[in-house]
A and B are shown apart, each in its own frame.
Chain A
């Protein structure tokens, strides 16, 4: 019987628990103690425990053994300690604890039987192997030896980039700052030279930032290191970080996308989404602190998502003061947004809107439903009490009538509060044939649009419009079976007064220039023609619930897709009409699976493949019961 077995009770760890406690105390004391507690003291306690733990094995020389894990455990601790010790570079208290552990373990007296000596050597060997493995890793981690197998370096401009280059109307500079011997610089410049060959407006140069620092100052407004491409035009610039080492591989592999994005940003004018204010609209920025009892709508009405989406068109959000409506042609926002007004617009302001539209302006108008008087006092939290909706009259004058009664559906709605009012949170995949809805109509079930509480639109009878030239179309319809809560918002259908019908949740108005010009307005020149020669007039999109195109619901894929399509349609024919390229890696394409391919994408992997595997197993083990 070995001494280990005889003295098992007394040799539990041979000081190892003390050692580990000491190391832990050092680590905790040094790193995790909250401020104010005696961390320094704990460090010294840890060191003391380590010392005691190291001493104990020597006192119990014959009895010492590590617990049931045996010497391999010691070996592993040894290796880990050594690896951490090396990594810590001898400087921290943590390193001290691991160093102490390392010294202790190699100092452990091995028992003198032949087998134990072998085991000791094996454990030591394992520990040293671990240390060597970690040291090897440490060296390899410093070396850029690897390959990106997912992408290939972009050696020539893609068709999309070539199209962007061909549409340049002003000179653009692309300057590569690379040292003369940089191989990566040569690859980047080869790409830029090909881009320069596509458009004479793109001037490409290679500059050594060390030799000509003033060039960096001129283009980028500050010093630059080598390994950067600067794309500059219209007084603005974009930097592409390429690098000059092996790390440049990754940047070169996506250079086409990055370059195209930079090109679009510097060559396209920055525009603004002009938000009207002063009529109770959603605030562009957080306003005064909320009063007690006032609901917190900051999240629900957050415009952060809308702001991020607008960046795809190089547009930023700008609030227009109430008096600035009259100066619309001068302010000339890319798009005017009227988001849920609750106060009336003055006749002067309505005329200003008329003029703006007549001059080819683009307007996105979102109205809220108005709660009709209802029995029982049941709360409908998402629609506003009242009887009228500002701008509804102005809209009706153009042939589009807004019915402010909130819509509801008995089955198709978004369950949120488990109250009856949830019936007003409509979900729809009913997309009328409209040029803006091609994408959503292609795969409607992929893009369900959600409303919080919506009114509806319908077309005013022909001949009764002040603007007979307006072409009105439904953009988004409620699902069949929807009714309007005209007889009181109790969220249950009264078939006598609330028949189900086909309701538009959003509609568009389009004016043609030839039909507007006779009114005597001067068109804004930059909106007059598109590159294809097609003429465009003013456009307006009216939405029956602001949450459909703004706020928290914009996180829904369907609402986001709708917003994107609405923006594309509204901005068509303007300098902002084409969205900037999305961050899809160059050479990549989106994976689109349609509903009719569900058997391939869903049923095959989820059900058929596991069943086939089980059937194979049954066949394999046939005859074995």
Chain B
């Protein structure tokens, strides 16, 4: 069966940017983005005070590590919430037809949406930068530690966006997409729980496959390992590509 609309075979950048800009503009035109940002900042500030700074005089590097760990918890919550609706909501409101009939490939649509979430999450992270900056000014931390922490948060968000986009593509409605996103991100996160009850060497494999335990803490401590860069990068790419294949299959079926 041939497709009714011939689409460009190669992925050019400009449609990706156009879609990303459209998504971001849509986000900032809604109240949700501003309230989400305010809640993110409020919770980050509160957790920074209550848990990262703590009651005593803690070493700067420990405060910074705690900050990145807490921020990763918020990322784990915020990114699937921002991402799961990206396709499912378009379907629900009927605007998906417009995108689908536009001269762009599913892959371009997905990467555009992926970039929009990364951009918004990056902006939120940027807004929290004054908290580690306070530690930087009142304590003593290596700038590389800041860089590593934010790099880890960005990569974690990328991997979560990938799996949430796939969930959004799989779900027929917002509810199913939300459930798939929760199952996907949550299941990936808690995979490490299966490791202790498995036998070697499968337990090692499961521990390595889990989203967080082996991969994010080094970033929070200021350590950047190539294997973790690869893990999150591959997770993001495979998630988006999976979503692209799902969208393509769904289109062929019609």
Contact between B142 and A150, CB atoms less than 8 A apart:
yes
Contact between B224 and A591, CB atoms less than 8 A apart:
no
CA distance A122 to B238 in the complex (A): 12
B9 at the interface (CB under 8 A from A): no
Query: With A30-B199, A140-B226, A146-B225 as given contacts, are A129 and B238 in contact (CB-CB < 8 Å)?
Result: yes
* Residues of A close to B37: CB separation below 8 A: 610, 613, 617
Interface residue ranges of A570-607 to B (CB < 8 Å):
584-585, 587-593, 600-602, 604-607
Query: With A613-B37, A620-B28 as given contacts, are A84 and B246 in contact (CB-CB < 8 Å)?
Result: no
Q: Of B61, B127, B135, B218, which is in contact with the most chain A CB atoms at under 10 Å from its CB?
A: B61
B34 at the interface (CB under 8 A from A): yes
CA distance A69 to B167 in the complex (A): 10
CA distance A27 to B147 in the complex (A): 41
B38 at the interface (CB under 8 A from A): yes
Contact between B205 and A126, CB atoms less than 8 A apart:
no
A118 at the interface (CB under 8 A from B): yes
Query: With A92-B202, A620-B28 as given contacts, are A591 and B246 in contact (CB-CB < 8 Å)?
Result: no
Contact between A122 and B248, CB atoms less than 8 A apart:
yes
Contact between B56 and A557, CB atoms less than 8 A apart:
yes
* Stretch with Cβ within 8 A of A (4 or more), from B39-47, B82-90, B92-100: B39-47
* Stretch with Cβ within 8 A of B (4 or more), from A71-79, A266-274, A398-406, A524-532: A71-79
Cross-interface CB contact of B252 among A72, A115, A584, A590, cutoff 8 Å: A115
* Stretch with Cβ within 8 A of A (4 or more), from B14-22, B73-81, B113-121, B227-235: B227-235
B91 at the interface (CB under 8 A from A): no
Contact between B202 and A95, CB atoms less than 8 A apart:
yes
CA distance A147 to B238 in the complex (A): 26
CA distance A4 to B3 in the complex (A): 19
CA distance A152 to B140 in the complex (A): 12
Chain A residue at smallest Cβ distance from B34: A617
A133 at the interface (CB under 8 A from B): yes
Contact between A617 and B223, CB atoms less than 8 A apart:
no
CA distance A495 to B126 in the complex (A): 59
* Residues of A close to B33: CB separation below 8 A: 617
B193 at the interface (CB under 8 A from A): no
Contact between B49 and A605, CB atoms less than 8 A apart:
yes
Q: Of B49, B140, B205, which is in contact with the most chain A CB atoms at under 10 Å from its CB?
A: B205
B241 at the interface (CB under 8 A from A): yes
CA distance A104 to B144 in the complex (A): 47
Interface residues on B, range: 35 or more
Interface residue ranges of A85-129 to B (CB < 8 Å):
87-89, 91-92, 94-95, 113-116, 118-119, 122-123, 126, 129
Interface residues on A, range: 35 or more
Chain A residue at smallest Cβ distance from B49: A602
Interface residue ranges of A525-577 to B (CB < 8 Å):
557, 561
CA distance A446 to B58 in the complex (A): 13
Cross-interface CB contact of A94 among B2, B34, B202, B228, cutoff 8 Å: B202
CA distance A607 to B226 in the complex (A): 38
Contact between B226 and A621, CB atoms less than 8 A apart:
no
Q: Provide the B11-32 mask, 1 if CB < 8 A to any CB of A, else 0.
A: 0000000000000000011010
Contact between B223 and A147, CB atoms less than 8 A apart:
yes
Q: Provide the B139-158 mask, 1 if CB < 8 A to any CB of A, else 0.
A: 11110110110000000000
Cross-interface CB contact of B46 among A115, A116, A129, A606, cutoff 8 Å: A606
Name the distance in Å between A616's Cβ and chain B's nearest Cβ. Answer: 8
Contact between A446 and B234, CB atoms less than 8 A apart:
no
Contact between A591 and B139, CB atoms less than 8 A apart:
yes
Contact between A137 and B227, CB atoms less than 8 A apart:
yes
Name the distance in Å between B71's Cβ and chain A's nearest Cβ. Answer: 12
* Residues of A close to B42: CB separation below 8 A: 606-607, 609-610
Name the distance in Å between A174's Cβ and chain B's nearest Cβ. Answer: 26
A141 at the interface (CB under 8 A from B): yes
Contact between A72 and B57, CB atoms less than 8 A apart:
no
Contact between A605 and B245, CB atoms less than 8 A apart:
no
Name the distance in Å between B198's Cβ and chain A's nearest Cβ. Answer: 5
Please give the residue numbers on chain A whose beta carbons come within 8 Å of chain B beta carbons, in ascending order: 2, 27, 30-32, 68-72, 75-76, 83-84, 87-89, 91-92, 94-95, 113-116, 118-119, 122-123, 126, 129-130, 133-134, 136-137, 140-141, 143, 145-152, 446, 557, 561, 584-585, 587-593, 600-602, 604-607, 609-611, 613-614, 616-618, 620-621, 624
Please name 19 further chain A to chain B contacts, defined as beta carbons within 8 Å, in addition to the given A69-B170, A87-B205, A126-B242, sorted by A numbering.
A84-B205, A89-B201, A91-B201, A137-B230, A140-B227, A145-B227, A148-B221, A149-B148, A584-B59, A585-B61, A590-B60, A590-B139, A591-B63, A604-B130, A605-B44, A609-B41, A609-B130, A613-B127, A617-B33
> Which 4 residue pairs of A and B lie closest in terms of their CB atoms, listed nearest first?
A150-B222, A149-B144, A605-B45, A617-B34
